[in-house]
Each structure stands twice: as C-alpha cells, then as structure tokens.
Structure 1
Amino acid sequence: MHSSHPLVAGIVHEAPGSTVRLRPVAEDDLAMLRRFAVEPGLIGLDWAGFRDAAAPARRFAEDGYLGEQVGGLIVQVEPSDVAAGFLSYRQGQYGGRAPYWEIGIVLLPEWRGRGLGWRAQALLCDYLFSHTPAQRIQAGTHAENVAEQRSLEKAGFQLEGVLRACEFRAGAWRDGWLYSRLRDDPSPL
C-alpha cells in the first residue's frame, strides 16, 4: 500500500442509509478496473473499444493510482464496504500557468441512480481545493447523459458550454458538455 498519500485515511460523506467514502485503489479492486477495460457498455457512453486488461495492474504497481498529476480513487459504499466505482482526476493547465483538475467517474450499473456519484464528485472537489492551489475543477459529459448532468449540478458544478465535435464515438464526431466548479463556489456538502 502506498500509505504516504493523504487520501489513505479516506474521504467520507454520510447520508441517510449509506456513507460514501473515497479511498485509494487496493489490489482487490483491480478486477473491477479490468472489467471497465474489457466489458462493452459497462462504462456507458464512454466505451471506446477494448483496452489493455493488464494496464490497471501495471498502473497500480507504479503508484497505486495516486500520482501527483493523474490519479484515481475507489468510490466505496459503507457500511457494506463495497466498491461501487472509480473516480479519476487529471491535472491540466490553461495558458501554461493556471492549473486545473479534470475529474471523471464511473459507477457499476447496480450503484447508479442512488445519489452516490454527485456525493463522490463533491467529496473529491472539496479534497482537491483543500490540498492543491487549483482554482478550477472541470468535468465533461455527453449531451444525452442527463443523469450525469444532474449529478454534476448537484455536486456544485455549472454548465459552461458545448464543446463541438470533441469526441469520436460510435462512428461519429459528437459534442460534449463542459462543466466547472471554482474554488469560491459553495460546496454542496
């Protein structure tokens, strides 16, 4: 375990009926991450074809998914301690000097529609704003993914606009929607 990272203790949000916790990837989670790489449709509209099923194990061996600029955490539901999905973060820069984070989430189908996604995304934003100097966190989604649009809005994000023809999916170029949450925006938690 890569215990020097501050996320090892976990990030928690309690709500009636369940607690959402973000925690580092553990070796037992690699089977779920392999599934995301090789099961068509499991990650919804983001499916872009088969990926290297061994890549999650290589990444885990490299840094436990806790890189300084690119990382990922498991979305865990308590009290059952079940891994419900994966939340990623990647650092970028505008103009070479303005760092931001881009986040993404994928939940297993049985955990969708339960309010876990927005809570997990809000937890990660609060953590990143507390521990990094970034002013901005952004997330993109598909025009037809109404559930994720609502999730981002509940997590404190605002729609910025449409990114025209930003993604090649299912044989065609498609538009995406870009959302952001700024440091000064209130946390919904």
Structure 2
Amino acid sequence: MSLLIAPVVPAGSLSSSVQPSLLSSDEGLLLRPWAVEDAVVLQGAFQDATIRRWSMRRMTSRAEAEEWIAAAGRQWQEERGAQWVVTHAVGGELLGRVALRWMDLFQGLAECAYWVLPHARGYGVAPRSLTTLSDWALKEVDFHRLELAHSDRNEASCRVADKAGFTFEGVRRSALRHADGWHDMHLHARIQGDAEPLSGKG
C-alpha cells in the first residue's frame, strides 16, 4: 500500500554519516558523542540525588555505563535516538547530557531530554545545550517538531524549556510513574518557525 505523504526526514539521513559534534552559538559548549572513556563520569552522574529523582534509570557499575554508551551508538545507527555528552568547548570537562531520547523520522518528531552534573549547575548549561541541539535538529536535519516532557514538580526543567524556546502546551495528567508514584507531566514543544529562544540571543 502506498503512502499519501513522504517522510519528513528520509530514512538514512542520520545513519549514513557519523554522529556530529555540535558547538553552541557562544562557542562555550561542545556536544559530542559519548565515548567509552566517559563511563566513570556517567556512572557517577546517576549517584546524584537530583538526577536519580527524575530518572527512570539506576546505574550501579562501570560495565552498565559502558553498555549504555554502546547502546547510544546503536541508537544513532538505527535512527531511534541520539545522545550527546555536554562538555566545555575548551578543556573538554564533562558537564552533562542532552539527547533526542526517541525519534520518528517519518513524522519529523523527536523528544528531547537532558541533565547537568552538580558542579555545572547554575551556569546556563542546560538551556544552552538544549538550544544547540534543537537548532541542529530543526534547521539542519529538518525535524518539524521537538517535544519535551517533565514532571510538574520539576520547576528547574520548566525554566530550561522556556529559555530554550519550548512553548508550554499543557499537562498530561498522571502520565508517568516515578519512584515516588505517578506524576502529572508538563508538555513543551518547539516547532519549525518558532521564535529564536532566549538562550540563543545575545
């Protein structure tokens, strides 16, 4: 059966090339693919109380971290998702993670996710890295819509979404189960043609 519409992002658009590294507009942050050498920092990130609170994952060993990194590489090849580690552009210190957690190339839709290591919080790392990723996804890959969902109790993520140009669209009631029970989820989105985000100005 033939389709009435063509894919927004043709299959193979990503997997036909290596996953790129992305530089923020202020040239202060570099988003690069995860490497096996990052496993110790990745494992340590999941010992942080804030990251643990909002994550569905527990990571208790270096081997588990290495497998997560290997799976991230497979995600890119299979065009199911894409993971980046956020670093200082100069010196390469690891600061956090930003991702297209899942992707639907046919519809041109993806969901963004991020976290920042404790020592890097308070410096705009999350909104700047999210803006860098979403600019690339919308302007270079040609995704049509990027979504972002977070617990209604996670006020910090709400601020990040707003600064990165993701419009608040509503509440998904009792939509995701965390370790402490069901949470309402705030839904934000950035689409083709939206105004430039605050974190991309100045």
The answer for the alignment partner of 1:102 in structure 2 is: 111
Question: Mean alpha-carbon deviation: is it higher for 152-161 or for 74-83?
Answer: 74-83
Q: Is the 8 A contact 1:138 1:180 kept in 2?
A: yes
Distance in structure 2 (CA, Å) of the matches to 1:98 and 1:48 = 26
Unaligned runs of 5+ in 2: 1-16
Q: Is the 8 A contact 1:41 1:47 kept in 2?
A: no
TM normalised by structure 1 equals 0.82
The answer for the alignment partner of 2:18 in structure 1 is: 5
Show the 5 A alignment for 1:56-71.
56-61=65-70, 64=73, 67=76, 68-71=79-82
TM normalised by structure 2 equals 0.77
Return the offset for 1:151.
1.1
Question: Mean alpha-carbon deviation: is it higher for 121-130 or for 77-86?
Answer: 77-86
The Cα RMSD (Å) is 2.7
Distance in structure 1 (CA, Å) of the matches to 2:101 and 2:31 = 16
Q: 1:13 to 1:41 in 2, by over 3 A?
A: same
Distance in structure 2 (CA, Å) of the matches to 1:66 and 1:127 = 18
Q: Is the 8 A contact 1:5 1:66 kept in 2?
A: no
Question: Mean alpha-carbon deviation: is it higher for 148-157 or for 61-70?
Answer: 61-70
User: Which consecutive aligned stretches of 4+ in structure 1 deviate over 6 angstroms post-superposition?
Assistant: none
Q: Which residue among 160, 164, 168 is the counterpart of 1:155?
A: 164
Higher RCO, 1 vs 2 (CA within 8 Å, ≥6 residues apart): 2
Residue 171 of structure 1 pairs with residue 175 of structure 2: no
The answer for the alignment partner of 2:95 in structure 1 is: 84
When the two structures are aligned, how many residues end up with a matched partner?
Answer: 181
Return the offset for 1:6.
4.6
Q: Could you say which structure has the higher strand fraction?
A: 1
